[in-house]
Amino acid sequence: MRSSAALAPGSSIDMKAQDGATARSMWRITLQRMKRSNTAMIGLTIVMLLLLVALLADVVAPYSPTETTPVSMSPPTWQNLMGTDLLGRDVLSRVIHGSRVSVYVGVVSILLAIVIGIPLGTVAGFYGGHADQVIMRIMDIMLAFPIFLLAIVIMVILEPNTTNVVLALSIVRIPILARIVRASVLSVKETEYIEAVKALSLSQIRVLRRHVLPNCLAPIIVTSTLNIGNAIIIEASLSFLGLGTQPPTPTWGWDLKQNLTLIELNPWITIFPGLAILVTVLAFNLLGDGLRDALDPRLKA
Amino acid sequence: MKEYIVRRLVLLIPTVLGVSVVVFLMMHFIPGDPVALLLGDYYTEATAAAIRAQYGLDKPLYTQYFIWLTRLFVGDWGQSIIANRPIFDDLVYRIPVTLELIVLSMGFALLIAVPAGVIAALKPYSWRDYGAMVTALIGVSVPEFFMGILLILFFSLFWGILPAVGYVPIGESLWGNLTHMILPAVTLGLARAALLTRLVRASMMEVIRLDYVTTARAKGVRESAVVLKHALKNALIPTVTVLGLQIGFLIGGAIVVETVFAVPGVGSFGIAAISLRDYPQVQAFVLLFAVGFVLTNLIVDILYAFLDPRIKYGTATS
C-alpha cells in the first residue's frame, strides 16, 4: 500500500496522458476504418444531409407544408415534384418538413435513453448486490413487453404529442441499454487492467468514469446508432396508428395513413413519405453497421 | 434439464405478476374517470357512486387488483364498453387469427432466409453475397406498414392477383383463407427474413471453417451433405434463438400489419379499442400480447437448451 500511495500521483498523470492518446487514436482508427467502407460513408453522407434538411426545412422546402391549394391530387410535375395531396398541399414540402419529427424523435429518444440507461447499468454492474437486483428486476418486467407494445401502452396513458413520443421511445430503450452497459461493466470490471487501477486506490467514481466506461463505449455507440433507425420506424408506426405527433405538424407516418385511403387515385403521394422513411432508416443502419465493423470487428452479429 | 425447466417456470411467476400489475395500473394512469365516461350525460353523484360500488371501484387499489386477477383466471376478461359483450368471446375468435399470421410469417421468413443465407455464405464477397446482403439491409429498413402498402399496390391494385384486405376463416374456405393471409404474412415475414439472412450467413461462415467440417469433406462426404447435414444443422442454433427473440417484433408488427390489411386478429382489435377509448378491451389486448410474449420466450429458452447441450443451465442466471 505504501509503495502504491507513493506511486499514485505520478502514475495517474502518466495514465491521463496515455488515456488521452488512446482515446484520440481510437477515434482516428475508427474514422480511418470507416472511410474504407463505402456503405458506411454512404450512410454517413445521407445522415448528414438529412440533419441539414431537417434543420433548414423552411429554407429547402419549395412551399409551405400546410398551405392548401386548388391543385388537388396532382401526380409528380415540375411544379410539385412529388405531387399534391387531397387538400392540394405540396407532398415534397411535407416530406421535407416531416423529416424534422422523425430525426428529432429518433436521435433525442436514444440520447435520453443513453443518459438514463448508462447510470442504471453501471450501478447494477459495478456495485452488484441489492441495487443490481432491484434495477434489473424492473428492467426485466419492462422487457416482458414487446417494444412496440410498450410504446403503445405509454402513448395510451400519455397525451399523443411529439414530446411524449420521445419519452415513450426512450423508456422502451432504457432496459436494453442498461443490460448492455451492465454486461460490459461486468466484463471490464474483472480484467487485470481494472484490478491494477483499483490497486492504485483511486476513487470508485474515477475508476468508473475514466477507466470502466470508456471501455464500454463501443457496444453503446453501435447499438445506439442501429437503434435510431428502429426508433424512427416505431415513431412512424405510432403516427400511422394516430398515436404519435398530431396534425397539423407533418409526419411521414400520418401522411402515409392519410394518403392511403386515396391510393387508387394517386399512389405517388403514398409512396414518397414511405420512401423517405426507408432511406432514413437505411442510412442510420448503414452507419451503424459501418461503426460496428470499424469500432470492434469482434462485435459482428 | 428437468431442474432447469422447473426453475424457469418458477421464475415465470414474478414476471407474469409484474406484467399484470403494470397492465392493471395502466388503467389507473389513463387520464379521465372511467365511470364518467361510461355514464356520459347520465352522470350524477348518486349513480356514479352506485356504479363504483357495483364494479368494486370504491375498494382499495390492491383489493381491486386481486378481484381483477381472480376474474382473469376464470375467463372473465371484462365487458367491452362499445360492443357491450364479453371481451373473452372476442379473444377466443381472434387469437387463432393472430397465431396463424405469426406462424405463416415465421415460416415465410425461414423459407427465404435459410437458402439466401447459405448461398451468400458459400461464396462470400461474390455478387450473390452482396446482392443478398444489400436486399437484407433494405429489408430491415422498411417499416411494415409501408411494405404492406407496396404489396397491396402491386399485387392487388395493379395486377389484381390477391385480395387487398379482409379475412376468410379457414373453416369456410382454406383457399380463401390462404389468399387473404399471403400478403399480411409476407409483409410481416420480410423484415424478419432480412435479419435472419444476415444471421444465417454469419453463423454459416463461422461453422464452415471448423475442423469437423473439413474432416467431413476429407473423408469424402458429398459437398451438399457437408453443407446441409454438417454445417447448416449447427449454424441454425443461433438462428433459432434469434427467431425466438424476434417474436416480440412479430407481435409488435402484427399490430400494424393487421391494421393495414384489416385482418381480424388481436392486434387490430387492440388498435380499434384504443381509437374508441374502450379501455377494458385495450387492457385485455395488452395483457394477452405481453403474457404471450413472456410464454413464447420461455418456450424458446427451453427449446434452446434442448438444441444446444453446451448451454449451462445448471448455474444461476446472473
Rounded CA-CA distance A226/A214 in Å is 20
Strand partners, A301: none
Asked if residues A273 and A255 have their Cβ atoms less than 8 Å apart, the reply is yes
Alpha carbon A165 to chain centroid, angstroms: 14
Q: Is residue B292 situated within a structural domain? A: no
Measured between CB atoms, does B4 come within 8 Å of chain A?
no
pTM, two decimals, is 0.85
- pLDDT tens-digit map of B35-56: 777 777 777 778 888 877 777 7
Q: What percent of chain B has pLDDT over 90?
A: 11
DSSP symbols for A135-177: HHHHHHHHHTS-HHHHHHHHHHHS-SSHHHHHHHHHHHHHHHH
For residue B167, CA distances in Å to A10, A260, B155, B170, B273 come to: 75, 19, 16, 9, 19
Q: B92 is in which domain, residue-wise?
A: 87-275
Where does residue A69 rank: exposed (0-12), middle (13-18), buried (19+ CB within 10 A)? middle
Domain of B113: which CATH number? 1.10.3720.10
pLDDT at residue B308 in the model: 67
From chain A, pick out residues whose CB is under 8 angstroms from the CB of B206: none
CB-based contact A146 B290, cutoff 8 Å: yes
Do the chains contact at B141 and A237, CB–CB below 8 Å?
no
- Band of residue A8 on the pLDDT scale cut at 50, 70, 90: very low
More confident position, A224 or A202:
A224
User: Chain B residues with CB inside 8 Å of A267's CB?
Assistant: 153, 157
Residue B79 in any domain: the answer is no
- Residue A280's closest CA among A64, A106, A36? A106
User: Which of B252, B255, B274 has its CB closest to that of A156?
Assistant: B274
Residues of B with CB below 8 A from A137's CB? Answer: 14, 18
Residue B233 lies in a domain: yes
* Interchain CB contact of A157 with B (< 8 Å): yes
* Number of other CB atoms surrounding residue A165 within 10 Å: 28
The answer to whether B178 contacts chain A (CB < 8 Å) is no
How many distinct structural domains can be found in chain B?
1
* Of B140, B134, B107, the residue nearest B120 (C-alpha): B134
Would residue B7 count as lying in a domain? Answer: no
What tens digit of pLDDT does each residue of B233-265 get? 778 877 777 777 788 788 889 999 999 998 999
Say whether pLDDT at B72 is over 50: yes
Quick check: is B80 in a domain?
no
Q: Would you call A270 and B153 a contact, using CB atoms and an 8 Å cutoff?
A: yes
Question: Across the A/B interface, how many CB contacts are shorter than 8 Å?
Answer: 125
Does some domain include residue B179?
yes
Instruction: Say what the pLDDT of residue A165 is.
Output: 94
In a domain, B247, yes or no: yes
How far, in Å, CA of B300 to CA of B245, rounded? 8
CA–CA separation, B180 vs B166, rounded Å? 7
Q: Give all strands (DSSP E) within B104-147, no chain letters.
A: none
Q: Which three cell numbers stand for residue A239?
A: 403516427
Give residue A12's region: left, alpha or beta (phi > 0; psi -120 to 50).
Answer: alpha
Q: What is the mean pLDDT of residues A131-150?
A: 88
* Domain assignment present for B148: yes
**B-interface mutation test, from A50, A140, A142, A148, most B Cβ less than 10 A away:** A148
